[in-house]
Amino acid sequence: MLPGIESWYSLGNKAKTGRKQGMEKVEQVSEVLAQPGGRDHLRHYCAADVVITAGVWMRLQLLMGTWSPEAFRSAAASLVTVARSSMPGLGPWLDRVDRRVWMLDAPAVAA
């Protein structure tokens, strides 16, 4: 796991499908979609995946030395700001991120 990404890792269960796979997972996601607000939930789930992927890519740029810590902090802050303002439904997931670790202000602790 990449340092600092641990804080994003807990978001991986955002659809509450856990370790289910195949048709079992499809059926569970279908049940979520059938519930009131299910489509919004799926939209936020997909948007969260995009934000998480961007965050992993940004951290990789830092670890490879392509970006300085200052460049990373600027981009990371912008990602969170844009995600929060353009996708308000992501707020609950973004609130789970350990911002001090994400912004390199605190050491990552292994989960």
Average pLDDT over residues 3-27: 59
pLDDT in tens, 40-73: 888 887 888 888 889 889 999 999 999 999 999 9
Query: Where in the sequence is the domain holding 75, given as residue range(s)?
Result: 1-8+39-111
Whole-model pTM? 0.65
Return the pLDDT at 109.
Answer: 67
Average pLDDT, the chain: 78
Average pLDDT over residues 86-105: 81
Return the pLDDT at 13.
Answer: 52
User: Is 29 part of a structural domain of the chain?
Assistant: no
- For 101, phi then psi, to 5°, come to -70, -45
Listing DSSP states for 15-46 in one string gives: TS-TT--HHHHHHHHHHHHHSTTHHHHHHHHH
3-state secondary structure of 64: coil
Q: Which of 3, 1, 4 is nearest to 102 (CA)?
A: 4
Q: How many domains does the chain have?
A: 1
pLDDT in tens, 64-73: 999 999 999 9
90 or 15, greater pLDDT = 90
Residues contacting residue 99 through CB under 8 Å, at least 6 positions apart: 7, 80, 105
User: Does the pLDDT at position 32 exceed 90?
Assistant: no
Return the pLDDT at 108.
Answer: 66
